[in-house]
Amino acid sequence: MKSPFDIILTPIVSERSMELMEQKKYVFKVSKKANKSEIKEAIEKIFDGVKVEKVNTINMLGKTTRYGNKVGKKSDWKKAIVTLKEDSKTIEFFENM
């Protein structure tokens, strides 16, 4: 079984993710191979007292970039939007932002 830190890679901090926090929704970059149930378990293990209601996942395509004459591509990644239950504690990582 994978470690929860292998599934949840980084939190995503942007204007949109800060607006979603008011609705108890948090955005994370996750492993491409992780499914919704694994993401839910990992969030509940990493953050104590957090109860996940729903997980939405999105496969994000990497952007194409140019380096002089060469054309490259950034890697694809997966994004998860985690909705918490109403009686759940908030994720303290995002509190100070």
> Which domain range does residue 64 map to?
4-86
**Is 76 inside a domain boundary?**
yes
| Structural domain total, the chain | 1
pLDDT number for residue 94: 65
Tell me the C-alpha distance between 11 and 80, whole Å.
10
Tell me the C-alpha distance between 92 and 59, whole Å.
26
**Is 91 inside a domain boundary?**
no
pLDDT number for residue 40: 96
pLDDT tens sequence across 33-92: 999 999 999 999 999 889 999 999 999 999 999 999 999 999 999 999 999 999 988 887
**Is 93 inside a domain boundary?**
no
Locate 85 and state its tokens: 């239950």
**Is 48 inside a domain boundary?**
yes
22: domain CATH number?
3.30.70.330
pLDDT number for residue 96: 63
pTM (2 d.p.): 0.87
pLDDT number for residue 97: 60
